[in-house]
Structure 1
Amino acid sequence: MENNEVEHTDDEDSSASYHDLSDHEEDESTDLSGDELEINNPEDIQIGLPEQYNPQDQDLVGDHLYLGAMEEVRGRILLDEDSIIEMPVVVQEGLICVPGQTLPLTISHPHIMAMMRRVIEGNHIFGILSFRPFEPHINNAKYKIGATAEIYEYGEEVEGLESGFGFRIKARIRQRIKVIQARRQIDGITIARVQILPELEVSDSLYQCRSYSLDKHRLSTATSSDISVASLLSKKRIYDKQYKIPFSVWPSWIHRSYDLQFIAQRVMLELSTSIFVGSSAFADVGSGSIVPRNPVDLSYWVIQNLPLDDELRLELLSINNPNQRLRAELSILQRCESLCCRECDYAIARQTDVFAMSKIGPQGVYVNPFGHVHETITVHRVDGLSVTTPPSTEFSWFPGYAWSIVNCSYCRSHIGWLFTANDRHLQPASFWGLSRQSLKPRLKVNDESEFIAVM
């Protein structure tokens, strides 16, 4: 797929306005400190795919088949938390990688291709950064956050495409890293000394003041690491809290605010009533659901699938505690109402228009033949976008769909693509793919419905 290098004309067809953003009902958010919300069975929260969607197509999208045939790289390596190691790094400006993502890359630079081949022969791991480590103005620690990428498939040049389209890889983002020092070798490759950032989980706030005679009702760490498993023991959990809280000087809502399982369930509930609204045929949790059940994985999944500003995404990734990360994400989810054009601030879509066309979630990372990486979020309806090119199926990210470049009708900036089905049996017949770099969320700041854009 091509970038937005398209000549604009005055007679461009404007896409129909699918809805008036002001007609949507306001969602009532619940205060985290309140005692009135009780989530006894989070398995009733159904999050998944839209109606009439083909599961096999979802798998094809997540596999990035547009990259062609590739060879598999076997083995998986996890680096020790807090360890300091050296690794080759690649700078991908405009892309802030999150653990759990799949990263496709097309590489045409010979020295980068040689580096990737050495990585494949070694431990398959390299670093991915969104900044250039040699820039002198980068002093804030949050801008030194990156991630490790582990290659699991690679391919050489594909016949039939342009000669500049050469090496291809698929990598999984594994762990967060912080750059300590970097140097550039004579061959142009950057080697960075990095720290593997840890996940620091807060211990049970009521453990020291518990009643020992009630230990048989407690949840062990092994049984509470997964949200769906913990929900099966919700009655024991409530019983446990009721008997321990009288021994604490703090009220119950404070302890629940720092309960990792409780916060994860609150985030799940907010997701079910914000991003995935609009379908009555969601997949059951634990079977076809695309949302992780582990609280740590869930905290990263939310970062992946919210079209956050780069700085806000880095702020969340710099948090080493999953509880604090989930609390920050819950606040954003409760206040985020619409997605706006980054240039002119026009409201393009609402969070309730977002849906998942891929098994990885509503927002995925895709690459075009020229190496440009785009984080694209899929939505049902938009407002104020103009189609600027005829449909094309070349290098389409979504099998069976043709793409057309779309711009903002007001400032003419590139926003994303319109995807239309080539087969009338495909559902949905059309949808929009919006580039994260072209959007910014608008957050509600008070009850009078005043909004502020995240800058």
Structure 2
Amino acid sequence: MDDEIERRQIQHILELDHEELQVEEVDSLLESSDDDPDATGYASTDDFTFNTQLTSLHSYLGDVDDTHHRSSFWEGGAIVNLPLYYLEGVVLFPEATLPLRVIEPNFVAVINRAMTQVDAPYTMGVVRVYRDPVDGPVRQAKIGTTAEIRQYRPVEDGSINVVTRGRQRFRLRRCWVDAEGAPCGEVQIIEEDVPFRTPRDACAKLVPLSNLRNQHMLSLHALSHGRRNDENDSEANSEESFENELSQTERRIHQAAIGAGYESDGTDESTSSGDDGKFSDSQLGSPCTNDPSSIRASTSGHTKQVRNSDLGIGTKSMTHKVAGPRSHLSSTVSRAFWPIWVYHMYDSFCLAQKAADMWKQVVGTPSMDGFVNKPDLLSFYIASKIPISDPTRQELLEIDGISHRLRREIELLERLDCVCCKICKTVIARRSDMLVMSADGPLGAYVNSYGYVHEVMTFRKAKGLALRGRPHKEYSWFPGYAWTIINCMTCETQMGWLFTATNKKLKPKSFWGIRGCSVTNEMR
């Protein structure tokens, strides 16, 4: 069944390639106004006729054979020797597709070694290389991704066409060149953490703070008479069992917060209605303190400082008010030393839901429900598709921890508004103009006939760009579209390509492909 579907898709590609090129559409596009969306010739969502599944086939590579091999994962911390494939301007993430046209002899040796090695068959390491500064020496990143060769076909001229897929992150320990000239490296597989969900017992099943003072007074009264009823014993045992599960640092923070609850309940009755929720310096911490990340909790005899670092979280992510005047909601406040929203800040599933909702607003993906239940895969998916510069994408690859990566991606999505030229910072396109032209998403990796791999993000509209040369149909990444090189009008940096339909039935009639290595997400 899959072979029949693929045969039909290939037939569709061949039919598109035989259509005549309509060059006049390019000229009319240049004359159109940015303020008139209808004049640009862009198709609406309802008029979208292009089959995005065709793009993900990478048919421009010609016939490639499936290797029918799927390698198993290595355990976290494993040390493996792999041939290394260096790429400039490209960051490979787990589960992302990477097509390659291998021409240079040293990288041909890399592919041949990967296909024949015994310890790690059909696998190589992909590492981003860069120049910092731009005209400086070539450097290599310390974190890369293993790539499994899924499709392979040697060409008569000695080159090799392959399609690979990212598998696992690794840390590069050392590298060398073998006797055949293939770059190799000793890598350590990074152990990925398990998606974290807030424990149910962290907040929901604890006794409300309003009952805490009454319990304390009853306990003192019972002790003074040498007796305690069964209910008090049960509550005391519950509290004791909860505290026994905490570490020494957590227990100290928990007791400090409870002490603040005693103080708050004891002072509420004398607080005037005119205070309206104002907190004293002893409750929130002095404004003159040298440590803004600390939180002061008032106790009966002294003041303790509760620091964010004691919880193992960043200083910017915690502004919890430990104590304050009791409100009508105090009877429902949990006795946990942090409220539920604090735990949600690091709950992988909550963060995944928020990131998926934001991603749908940006890209318009119909459904992300499958990814929400797999926060680790979602974090890698968004990182590999978000329209940002490759240094920022490398930063996402190097982040350890699902929740930390998702939090950073949410921050980037919140700030993402426009894409600018890397050199002159001229605004090229806006987030609202993103267009999904591939089943893999709005950003994908493609390789040209010279072996250069480009990460390309697609947009309905763009500005500040000039065409260079005439349209070409050969080696088009998008079947049925011809490509024309585009440069920044301000600094003449090559920004990517304009793709124009080769027949009037295909919609959208045109769109822009912007190179990830030519843009920045920072404005002047």
Partner in structure 1 of residue 95 of structure 2: 100
**Match in the other structure for 1:156:** 154
Q: How does 1:236-275 map to 2 (within 5 A)?
A: 246-275=334-363
* Cα distance in 2 between the residues matched to 1:353 and 1:292: 25
- The CA deviation at 1:283 is 3.6
* Contact 2:148–2:165 (CA under 8 A) maintained in structure 1: yes
Question: Does 395-404 or 316-325 show the bigger shift?
Answer: 316-325
Displacement after TM superposition at 1:181 (Å): 1.1
Cα deviation digits, residues 265-295 of structure 1 (max 9, x gap):
111121222333xxxxx64556xx9x77521
Question: CA separation in 2, counterparts of 1:309 and 1:426?
Answer: 31
Output the CA distance in 2 between the equivalents of 1:355 and 1:385. 18
CA distance in 2: counterparts of 1:334 and 1:364, whole angstroms: 22
Q: Could you tell me how far apart the structure 1 residues matched to 2:55 and 2:108 are?
A: 25
**Equivalent residue for 1:197?**
190
Larger relative contact order (C-alpha < 8 A, sep ≥ 6)?
1
Distance (whole Å) between structure 2 residues aligned to residue 396 and residue 211 of structure 1: 57
Q: 2:30 aligns with which of 9, 15, 21?
A: 15
Distance 1:245 1:130 in 2: 49
Q: Secondary structure at the match of 1:59?
A: coil
Specify the alignment match of 1:30 in structure 2: none
Question: SS at 2:84's partner residue?
Answer: strand
Q: Is 1:326 the equivalent of 2:406? A: yes
309-318 or 257-266: which moved more? 309-318
> Equivalent of 1:68, from 31, 39, 62?
62
1:130 aligns with 2:128: yes
Q: Distance in 2 between matches of 1:14 and 1:430?
A: 8
Partner of 1:91: 86
Q: Do the aligned residues in 1 keep the contact of 2:89 with 2:455 (CA within 8 Å)?
A: no
The structural deviation recorded for 1:118 is 3.3
User: Of 453, 468, 492, which aligns to 1:388?
Assistant: 468
Secondary structure of 1:405 counterpart:
strand
Cα deviation, 1:215-239, whole Å, max 9, x if unaligned, reads xxxxxxxxxxxxxxxxxxxxxxxxx
Distance 2:129 2:484 in 1: 30
Equivalent residue letter for 2:192: E
The correspondence for 2:167, drawn from 174, 177, 186, is: 174
5+ long unaligned stretches in structure 2? 1-26, 37-43, 131-135, 207-330
Q: 1:245 to 1:322 in 2, by over 3 A?
A: farther
| One-letter code aligned to 1:171 | T
Counterpart for residue 411 of structure 1: 491
* Matched-pair contact (CA < 8 Å) for 2:347–2:403: yes
Secondary structure at the aligned position of 2:165 is classed as: strand
Q: Distance in 2 between matches of 1:107 and 1:100?
A: 21
Query: Quick check: which has more Rg, 1 or 2?
Result: 2
SS in 2 for 1:389: strand
2: CA distance between counterparts of 1:14 and 1:210? Answer: 59
Pair 1:384–1:131, CA change in 2 (3 A): closer
Q: CA deviation at 1:385?
A: 0.9
Q: Distance in 1 between matches of 2:179 and 2:65?
A: 30
CA distance in 2, matches of 1:392, 1:350: 26
TM-score normalised by the chain length of structure 2: 0.63
User: How big is each residue's C-alpha offset from its partner over 1:203-226, in whole Å with a ceiling of 9 and x where there is no partner?
Assistant: 44445646779xxxxxxxxxxxxx
Give per-residue Cα distances to partners, 1:160-193, cap 9 Å, x unaligned: xxx47x2110000111111011122232112211
- The residue type paired with residue 326 of structure 1 is L
Secondary structure class of the residue paired with 1:415: strand
**CA distance in 2 between partners of 1:296 and 1:423 (Å):** 41
Give the Cα separation in 1 of the matches to 2:372 and 2:439: 11
Task: Give the structure 2 partner of residue 365 of structure 1.
Answer: 445
1 or 2, which has the higher helix percentage? 2
Deviation at 1:71, TM superposition (A): 1.0
Distance 1:246 1:293, change over 3 A: closer
Residues in 2 aligned to 1:244 and 1:175: alpha-carbon distance in whole angstroms? 45
Q: Deviation at 1:18?
A: 5.1
Q: Is the 8 A contact 2:110 2:183 kept in 1?
A: no
How has the CA–CA distance of structure 1 residues 61 and 252 changed in structure 2, closer, same or farther, with 3 Å as cutoff? same
Using a 3 Å threshold, how does the CA distance of structure 1 residues 315 and 414 change in structure 2: closer, same or farther? Answer: same
**Partner residue of 2:111?**
116
Kindly state the Cα deviation for residue 108 of structure 1 after the two structures are TM-superposed.
1.8
SS at match of 1:296: helix
Change over 3 Å in CA distance of 1:329–1:283 after alignment to 2: closer
Deviations 1:22-80 (A, max 9, x none): xxxxxxxxxxxxxxxxxxxxxxxxxxx9443347x211100100000011101211222
What secondary structure is seen at the aligned counterpart in 1 of 2:483? strand
**What residue number does 2:268 align with?**
none
User: Secondary structure, in 3 states, of the residue corresponding to 1:130?
Assistant: strand
The structure-2 alpha-carbon separation of the partners of 1:403 and 1:381, relative to structure 1 and needing over 3 Å to count, comes to same
Distance 1:191 1:318 in 2: 21
Alpha-carbon separation, structure 2, partners of 1:343 and 1:312: 16
User: Structure 1's 336 and 326: CA in aligned 2 closer, same or farther, altered over 3 A?
Assistant: same
Residue pair 1:206, 1:244 contacting (<8 A) in 2 also? no
Bigger mean CA deviation after superposition, 316-325 or 183-192: 183-192
Matches within 5 A, 1:337-348: 337-348=417-428
- Report the equivalent of 1:431: 511
Relative to 1, partners in 2 of residues 1:170 and 1:84: Cα closer, same or farther, differing over 3 Å?
same
The question of whether the paired residues in 2 share the 8 Å contact of 1:13 and 1:386 is answered with no
- Greater Cα offset, 266-275 or 422-431: 266-275
Deviations 1:363-394 (A, max 9, x none): 00000111111000000001111111211100
Say whether the 8 Å CA contact 1:13–1:388 is kept in structure 2: no
Q: Name the aligned partner's letter for residue 154 of structure 2.
A: E
- 1:82-113 CA distance string (max 9 Å, x none): 21111111111221211121111111233432
